[in-house]
Amino acid sequence: MKVTFTVNGQRVSADEVWEGESLLYILRERLGLYGSKNACEQGECGSCSVYVDGTLVCACLVLGGQAQGRDIVTVEGIADGHALHPVQQAFVEAGAVQCGFCTPGLIVAAHDLLRHTPEPTTVEIREALAGNICRCTGYAKILDAVHLAAERMAST
């Protein structure tokens, strides 16, 4: 089948998509958007987090066909060109990235949290990011990064 949707503001389509393919597969393997990661394909780790029509979802759990006509934003769409988004900049500065495999998903999830809750408490951050597994950092620096991003976004 053919699937057409918008990704990061651009209209794209993929031909000869097998009905069983996930949105994640289309993004990575057909559109070359390797930012979203595949770590479990079960909705458990959040590495594949993207926005579909403004809602945070696991792209591994969305069928490719369900993306038809939708507006998708991936981690590649978070930055403004080459200028990092404050959430991304905060992850870099806080040391919230070790291997980096969880990072794209966490960036999108943290971005989503700060849209709804601009000044989250540590408990709110923990709850919001509980669906994102990081095997490297023990999360402390990720919490620091989200606080840092929140501070900076509040002051601009």
Partner 1 sequence: MGRDGAQPAPLRTHRMDVVRYWGEAVALVAADHPEHARRAAQAVRVEYEVLKPLSDPEEALSDDAPRLHPDGNITRRIKIRRGDQDPHADVVVKGEYEVGMQDQAPLGPESGLAIPDGEGGVDLYIATQWLHVDRDQLAECLGLPPEKVRLTMAGIGGAFGAREDLSMQAHACMLALRCGRPVKMAYSRSESFVGHVHRHPARMRYEHGATRDGKLMYVRARILLDGGAYASSSTAVISNACCFAVGPYECANAAIDGWVVYTNNPPCGAMRGFGSVQNCYAHEAQMDKLAEALGMDPVDVRIRNALETGSSLITGQVIDGPVPVAELLRRVKAMPQPAAAASAHLDLTQMPGGVSNTTHGEAVRRGVGYAVGFKNVGYSEGFNDYSTARVKLSVAGGRPRVEVHTAGAEVGQGLVTVQAQIAGTELGVHDVAVLNADTQVGSSGSSSASRQTYITGGAVKAACEAVRERVLALAVSELSGLGRADSDADESGWRLEHDAIVAADGSTVITLATLLGEEVIEETREFRPRRTARLDAETGQANAHMQFAFAAHRAVVDVDTELGLVKVVELATAQDVGKAINPQAVEGQLEGGAAQGLGLAVMEEIQVKDGVIRNPSFTDYLLPTTLDMPPVRMDILELGDPNAPYGLKGVGEPPTISSGPAIVSAIRSASGRPVNRVPVRPHDLLGV
Footprint on this chain of partner 1 (rule: CB under 8 A) = 18, 20-21, 37-42, 44-45, 47, 95, 98-102, 123, 125-127, 129-143
Site string for ligand FES, 109-138 (x = CB under 6 A): -------------------------xxxx-
Is residue 29 near ligand FES by the rule CB under 6 A?
no
Is residue 102 near ligand FES by the rule CB under 6 A?
yes
Backbone angles phi, psi at 78, to 5 degrees: -80, -40
User: Strands 49-52 and 71-73: what pairing?
Assistant: antiparallel
Which residues lie across from 58 on neighbouring strands?
49
Residues 6+ apart with CB under 8 A from 75: 35, 36, 49, 50, 104, 105, 107, 108
Across the chain, where does the E strand assignment appear?
3-7, 10-14, 49-52, 55-58, 71-73
User: Exactly one of 8, 38, 74, 88 binds ligand FES (CB under 6 A); which one?
Assistant: 38
User: Exactly one of 7, 26, 33, 48 binds ligand FES (CB under 6 A); which one?
Assistant: 48
Give min distance, CB of 95 to ligand FES, in A.
10
Cβ proximity to ligand FES, 8 vs 38, nearer residue: 38
Give min distance, CB of 133 to ligand FES, in A.
7
Which tokens is 142 given? 């990720």
35-58 burial by CB neighbour count: b if 16+ within 10 A, else e? bbbbbebeeebbbbbbbbeeebbb
Which listed option, partner 1, ligand FES, none, makes contact with residue 129 (CB within 5 to 8 Å by class)? partner 1
Q: Any idea what the Cα angle at residue 114 is, between residues 111 and 118, rounded to 5°?
A: 160
Site string for ligand FES, 58-97 (x = CB under 6 A): x-x------------------------------------x
Is residue 52 near ligand FES by the rule CB under 6 A?
no
